[in-house]
Amino acid sequence: PLQIQISPRETPNHFLTMGNWVVNHWLAVLCLVAWLGLNVFLFVHAFLKYEKDDKYYYTREILG
């Protein structure tokens, strides 16, 4: 059978795939991270506003 020898200095391509994707698509990654961060911030801000503010006491009671 045919056997391929890899020298110790060579790294297989599958180890570099994700790094290459991030390098090639850095703008898309940056937009996705910013969008996700904004959504998490808005959710936490709104949740804490409705959870802690006395103005929304009856809303919390009605909704459970």
59, part of any domain: yes
Do 51 and 59 meet the contact criterion of CB atoms below 8 Å apart?
no
5, part of any domain: no
Structural domain count, the chain: 1
**Residues 6+ away with beta carbon under 8 Å from 59:** 50
Question: Which residue range is the domain that position 51 belongs to?
Answer: 39-64
20, part of any domain: no
43, part of any domain: yes
The 10s digit of each residue's pLDDT in 1-60 is 667 666 666 655 555 566 787 888 889 999 999 999 999 999 999 999 999 999 999 998
What is the pTM for the complete model shown? 0.60
57, part of any domain: yes
1, part of any domain: no
